[in-house]
Structure 1
Amino acid sequence: MADISQIRYDAAAKAKLQESFVGQEKRGVIVLADISGYTELLTTTQAEKSARIVAHITERVFGATTEPFIVNEIEGDALFTYTVEPPTGEALVRLTFEQLETYADAFYHAMEELTYSTLKDDPDLAALIKRVSMKFVIHYGSFQVNKIGPFVKLVGADIILPHRLLKNSVDSDSYFLFSKAFLDLDEDRDHNKAMALVEEIKHFGSVDVGARTFDYDAEHEARHGREHDHLTRRGVTI
């Protein structure tokens, strides 16, 4: 997994790469990283500070985007990223899981920074921060790359589906939700940790998915140990 302190997302280079896709149909992995608790934060009486909290989290997760993923759009409380083939199959799945772990790490560190930030003395906001989490929806499919004005947009049913899957039956605010189309890319991989579910999605019918809930602190400690804090406890000014 990448060291998030060393990641540098080259937005200009990625924008140029996206431009080269315009007018083509591509296949690849779509990832939506969605902030849970976003609406509650922004509707508090301290909306200005809350907006800065959301911006801080989004910036940290955005900056943790690794090769070969491209940020297509920031959609309010969600980061919309994707990659195109090649690579394919097992290699594509491996890179996707590495990206998901890196995003989760970036979120963890953003929350640590906020915990030790200038907000720590505000009991109302501190309590709200503890209820913020992230959920991820991952899908594989095809899409058309179009340009509308200055914007490069991905279009197709396989772009709509992961957005619809953000509304689902998973009883948690912290989870990975994988479409069967993604999981089938590497049938040899152990997907036993993903609980099989069927989501009823308008216009799509019954959609097979796999869900895995997680605890950020436990996951982070399992990968890095208790002393891994190269970005923690520095705090930020909000």
Structure 2
Amino acid sequence: MLPKAETAYFAIADISGYTSFLAAVELDHAQDIIADFMDTVVKGLRPPFRLAKFEGDAAFVYTTAGNVDGSLLQDAIEGAYFKFRRRLRSVRQASTCECQACVAMGDLDFKFVVHHGEMVKQKMGGREELAGRDVILVHRLLKNTVAEKVGGRAYVLYSEAAMRAMGADPVAQGLIAHHETVDVIGDVTLWARDLDAAWREEDAQVRNEVTRGDAYATLEFDIAAPRETVWEYLSVPGQWRKWWDADDITEESGKGRRGVGTRNHCAHGNHTNIEETLDWRPVDYYTVGITLPIPGAPKIVMTRALLDGPDGTTHLELRVAKPKPKDKAFVDGAAAKFAERMTAGIARLRTMVEGRQFASSTAVEEPTMQPSTGRFLTEPVKSGAQR
């Protein structure tokens, strides 16, 4: 039988500065550093993406999941990059090695190319690989001139096809319009986001998290599903509506992208609760200010935090901020009703997500990640000593 075509999102995470880095530094620490950073990024992309293969200084990932939420997909790309930047910072602070590789690791960066189209799976060299015109295109798009527009090497470049499939408005999001001409394929419309600028904004953001220690009240639940899955069912209105007892949930975001400032209108009969997002850190937590349709009702601030539990489970904490003394009685009454509804809702959520396989049953087997031994953190070498 001929291979069946499937629709997919494709992405390539490519290390900027790879060639010059390896050419001028100690290879033992250099390879460990590269493996460490690549592992950080690939894990950050899962899910929605799966690893198809490593390609030297790049990782090729994809997802054939049905209706991938566009905001979640963009969060995955940017979140993976933010994890790399946090890892780079922590490694540079922790390492005492003064070899050329450890000194130069700050010159490394990442860029991403994302496309949407068709593919087929075919056997090559004893394993399945992805093939097709769109697979070729996403690889060709790595060679581009977008760095001149963003003024750096850290960016994500979305094809117009990817933006359409996500239902995203690139102009509203402030993305940079770009065009490339690709051999045989022709002119391709693209949209770029400066990831270095996005990182600086993320790093400078004042957090608004209700911590466990500061919470007035905390509801806790354990869910036998991955954190990313639970996050999706908590934050995407279409998924949230499946287990929560609202008649309807309408999302309002001026940028067409979920985050700080997003407002969710939760309708219950003739009444509507409004939740405004005050802090947004996928897939760790988000904080909302809840306004109930009651005259004089205070705004209730709550953080929904997701933590890793044992064996791939998720520990969910709903932390209510301390109210003003005059509002304590109201918050106590509202919290009691909320706890009852949430306990029933989580029971419904568990039936939906626990024990389910969300990856495609026809997915390509993922290659083994190259482990980092962490020698650049534990075994300093003399600068210039080649091995």
TM-score, length of structure 1 as denominator length: 0.77
Name the SS of the counterpart of 1:35 in structure 2.
Answer: strand
2:110 is the alignment partner of 1:134: yes
Where do 5+ consecutive residues of structure 2 fail to align? 210-280, 282-375, 380-387
The answer on whether the counterparts of 1:117 and 1:237 sit within 8 Å (CA) in structure 2 is no
Could you tell me whether the CA contact under 8 Å between 1:41 and 1:47 is conserved in 2? Answer: no
Q: Deviations over 1:150-183 (max 9, x none)?
A: 3220000100111111111112210010101111
Pairs within 5 Å for 1:34-183: 34-87=14-67, 91=69, 93-118=70-95, 120-122=96-98, 124-170=100-146, 171=148, 172-183=152-163
CA contact (8 A) 1:196 1:211 kept: yes
Provide the aligned C-alpha RMSD in A.
2.7
> How many residues in Structure 1 have an aligned counterpart in Structure 2?
207
Offset of 1:237 from its aligned partner?
Answer: 3.2
Which range moved further: 99-108 or 73-82? 99-108
| Residue aligned with 1:23, SS | coil
List gaps (5 residues or longer) in structure 1.
1-21, 229-234
Give 1 or 2 for the bigger CA radius of gyration. 2
Tell whether the 8 Å contact from 1:72 to 1:152 is kept in structure 2 after alignment. Answer: no
Alignment of 1:21-40 (within 5 A): 23-40=3-20
Query: Structure with the greater relative contact order (CA < 8 A, sep ≥ 6): 1 or 2?
Result: 1
Give the one of 178, 181, 191 matched to 1:197: 178
Q: 1:223 to 1:79 in 2, by over 3 A?
A: farther
Q: 2:188 corresponds to which residue?
A: 207
Question: Kindly tell me: are residues 123 and 148 of structure 1, through their superposed partners in 2, closer, same or farther at Cα, counting changes over 3 Å?
Answer: closer
Q: Percent identity?
A: 28
CA contact 2:122–2:130 (8 Å) conserved in 1:
yes
TM-score, normalised via structure 2 length:
0.49
Is the contact between residue 11 and residue 112 of structure 2 (CA under 8 Å) also seen in structure 1?
Answer: yes
Shift in Å, 1:110? 2.4
1-side partners of 2:12 and 2:206: how far apart? 25
Q: Which amino acid aligns with 2:162?
A: F
> Partner of 1:116: helix, strand, or coil?
helix
